[in-house]
Amino acid sequence: MLHSPLDDIAFAYEPVWDRTRRICASRLTIHALRPRSIDIVPMLAALIEGWPPDAPPLLLSTDEPRLLLSLLKQAPVRNTWLEVPESVWAKPEALEMVMAARRFGHQLLWRGELARFEPYAKKFKGLRAVLELTVDDAVLALQAAGQGGEFSTPGHVARIESPILAGHLYVGVSSRALADHCLDKQKAWGVVGWPDDELLSANRFKAIAMDQRVMVQIMQAVDAEVPIQQLGALLVQDPVMVYRLLRMVNSAAFGLAHEVESIRHALMMLGYDKLKSWLQTAYPSASADKSLHPLRHALHMRARMMRGLLDPNSDEELKGEIHLTGTFAHLDQLMKEPLAELLHQLPIPGRIFSTLVRHDGPYVAYLDVANAVASPHRVDQVPAVCERSGFGLDEVNRAVIHLLATARDPADKTFVAARGLK
């Protein structure tokens, strides 16, 4: 087997969310196994191979100086930004290379703590940044948001200025209130990652409801008479909806003679009219909370990553099982019930149950790799996880690239395809 440059690096990704709580970019963290020997040109060619022009831009991030300098020396890559740490901008000899790369056409992002960015913003007009929030930054921003930007003392009213700057990306956003302040009030470009833990903790006593936005997408797709396969692509955006649909179709009230194990089979048994009627009935109790969309979509991306690790020529039933495994991997966190109890209420294949409950099923390798590449802070562990799971880094990296190239919400593409629009 020929050696690929993608065998010498490991990727991990993180979605970037905009004001609509949709993906506006993808941050790709790059870890080089052998920084001195890496051939950067073929790697970049592999990165952009088949990259759609309307795909979310890639933010390339690495903490390895040799790799970063190699990236700066190469020709700019379409639809990518390079993150350059403050430590590089601060060194005169390195800054000269950074300025040369900028003149050459590279889109560069200053990266560092928010409090240290101002001098660079003044010196380099139009410079955009990935800004890391400290605890003090977060407290001040939340004070500005919570008090309408003002506080008072006897005989005096003063305005609290938020430290959040418009047009930049923010890392370290640990709460929904802070994310809302950055995106809605301060007009940030985006938030890297999402405060999933805080959102799940806030909903710890009740199940997260089905997503009204996905419901509307599906009902519109039903009206447009899209194929069943495309309806399934919309449905799997919401794991709770998938679970409740399978529960409903397999209930005694539905009266089927045979159990329904797959999403496709469930949709075929329901048909368009019954599906729409079920969604309309459930709509009033569904959630319109847009802050939950990034949480759901990130879980959906992990399921798609698992499926993307399969051979494209794999059996459709196998693809469906792998995807369903990923869809239900974190169902207990969403529905606030033990995963084993939730899955026992569905006629799912034992392979899925074993993988998710006992972590010893045939799909564990796919789940482990999908979890690893979605954890940028552990990117150095990705090679070991891949080796243990029986996957080569080249195939995993290509699956990551494909995932990020198709990371946007599928709704628009579904309707365009159904209506023959361009």
For residues 218 and 151, membership in a common domain is answered with no
For residues 24 and 172, membership in a common domain is answered with yes
70 has pLDDT over 90:
no
301 has pLDDT over 70:
yes
Among residues 135, 169, 195, the one where a domain terminates is 195
Q: How many domains does the chain have?
A: 2
pTM, entire model: 0.91
For residues 27 and 118, membership in a common domain is answered with yes
Q: What is the pLDDT of residues 94-116, one digit of tens each?
A: 999 999 999 999 999 999 999 99
For residues 280 and 309, membership in a common domain is answered with yes
Domain that holds residue 327: 196-360
416 has pLDDT over 50:
no
21 has pLDDT over 90:
yes
Q: CA-based diameter of the chain, in Å?
A: 78
* Residue 39 vs residues 58, 231, 233, 398: alpha-carbon distances, Å: 20, 42, 37, 16
pLDDT of residue 14: 97
Alpha-helical regions (H) of 283-378: 293-308, 316-327, 331-335, 339-344, 350-353, 364-373
Q: What is the pLDDT of residues 159-168, one digit of tens each?
A: 789 999 999 9
Is 315 a member of any domain? yes
Question: pLDDT class for 75, splitting at 50, 70, 90?
Answer: confident
For residues 113 and 123, membership in a common domain is answered with yes
DSSP 19: T
Q: Identify the burial level of 273 via C-beta atoms within 10 angstroms of its C-beta, where 0-12 means exposed, 13-18 middle and 19 or more buried.
A: exposed
Is 218 a member of any domain? yes
Pairing type for strands 128-132 and 150-153 reads unpaired
Q: What is the pLDDT of residues 243-276, one digit of tens each?
A: 999 999 888 666 665 677 889 888 988 899 999 9
| Percent of the chain topping pLDDT 70 | 92
Q: Identify the burial level of 418 via C-beta atoms within 10 angstroms of its C-beta, where 0-12 means exposed, 13-18 middle and 19 or more buried.
A: middle
Least confident of 63-72, 176-185, 229-238: 63-72
Residue 121 or residue 158, greater confidence: 121
For residues 274 and 159, membership in a common domain is answered with no
- The mean pLDDT of 50-77, rounded to a whole number, is 88
pLDDT of residue 409: 76
